[in-house]
Structure 1
Amino acid sequence: MKTIRNPIQSEINVKKSQFICSLFPTRTKAESKKVIQELNEQYSDATHNCTAYIVSDGEGFDDDGEPGGTAGKPMINVLRKNELHNVTAVVTRYFGGIKLGAGGLVRAYSKSVMEAIGKAEILEIEEYEVYEIVFEYSDIKITDTEVRNNSLEVIDKNYTDKVSYDIVSKDNRDIVKIFEKYSGKISVDFKNKQFLEK
């Protein structure tokens, strides 16, 4: 599975209409909606702000006033064709006075997204199970040793009254099994699933 590392923007002009494609890495519908809202505000003077997104909890697109099927759908098709996930595309159009027709619009919106993808840094990602391990400060050393010896990856650390690590195993080791010998000292709980770089 693929995504983009950083937000990217590209611009094309078709028969005096300006098309600005903004691509953002996003993981959820909520993140996509936030990005779309911010760009709608940033380009509030634009003729259209058409959108497409594919994220972990769904996908969607919107023609934003362009004729049905001429903007959002071609945009999401380009994302699918490039096997991109966890990404939101917004194409902002400033109308230049010359109508493009349905075919012209499909080509323009598709090309706009393809140009932006061409400029983006593409990452290979995979879905991993994230586990939270919780332990006392006095057990940091043994926990770090187990993490290192079993090639686990710590993706987040929290230090409150106890220490907690969010960890993943990129070679699918059984994380619960690794720590079961420390039962009572180190607690292990499944937290969620996340897309992470391979």
Structure 2
Amino acid sequence: MKTIKKPVQSEINIKKSQFICSLYPTRTKKESKEIIQKLNQQYNDATHNCTAYIVGDGEGFDDDGEPGGTAGKPMINVLRKNELHNVTAIVTRYFGGIKLGAGGLVRAYSKSVMEAIGEAEIVEIEEYDVYEIVFEYSDIKMVDTEVRNNNLESIGKDYSDKVSYEVISRNNQDIEKIFEKYSGKISVELKNRQFLEKI
């Protein structure tokens, strides 16, 4: 599975209309909608802000006032064709006074997204189970040793009343089994799934 490593922006001009494509790595519909809202505010003087996204919990697109099927759909088709996931595309259009027609719009929005993908750094991603390990401060050394010895990857740590680590196994080991021997002392719970860059 592929995504983009970091946000990228590109710009093309077609018959005096300016098309600015912004691509963002996003994991959820909520993240996509937040990015879209931010860009709508940033380019609130634009004629259209058309969008398309493919993320872990769904996909969607919006023509934002352009004739139906001439903007959002061609944009999402380009993302699909390039096998991109966890990505949001926003194409901002400033109308230049010359109408492009339905076919012209489809080509313009498709080209805009393709140009941005061409400038993006594409990375392979994989889906992993994220486990939360919760334990007492006195057990930090023991847990750190298990994490290290089993080549688990810690992707988050929280130190409050108790210590909690978020870990993944890139070798798909059974993390619950690793900590089974500490039952009652250490709790291990499957939290969610995450897409992370393949290494």
TM-score category of the 2 structures, normalised to the smaller one: over 0.9
Residue 55 of structure 1 corresponds to: 55
CA distance in 1, matches of 2:143, 2:128: 20
| One-letter amino acid of the structure 2 residue matched with residue 30 of structure 1 | K
CA distance in 2, matches of 1:191, 1:37: 28
Secondary structure in 1 matching 2:179: helix
Extract unaligned runs of 5+ from structure 2: none
Residue 157 of structure 1 corresponds to: 157
Residue 177 of structure 1 corresponds to: 177
Provide runs of 4+ in structure 1 moved above 3 Å.
Answer: none
Superposed displacement of residue 102, structure 1? 1.1
Q: How many matched pairs?
A: 198
Secondary structure in 2 matching 1:141: helix
Q: Does 2:89 align with 1:89?
A: yes
Q: Does 2:109 align with 1:109?
A: yes
Superposed displacement of residue 103, structure 1? 1.1
CA distance in 2, matches of 1:83, 1:148: 34
Residue-by-residue CA offset, 1:120-165 (whole Å, 9 max, x unaligned): 1111111111100011111111111111111110000001121110
TM-score scaled by length of structure 1: 0.98
| One-letter amino acid of the structure 2 residue matched with residue 107 of structure 1 | R
Superposed displacement of residue 27, structure 1? 1.0
Extract unaligned runs of 5+ from structure 1: none
TM-score scaled by length of structure 2: 0.97
Residue 64 of structure 1 corresponds to: 64
Residue 99 of structure 1 corresponds to: 99
Residue 119 of structure 2 corresponds to: 119
| One-letter amino acid of the structure 2 residue matched with residue 7 of structure 1 | P
Residue-by-residue CA offset, 1:30-87 (whole Å, 9 max, x unaligned): 1111111111111111111100001111100001111111100000001111111111
Measured on the aligned residues, the alpha-carbon RMSD in Å equals: 0.8
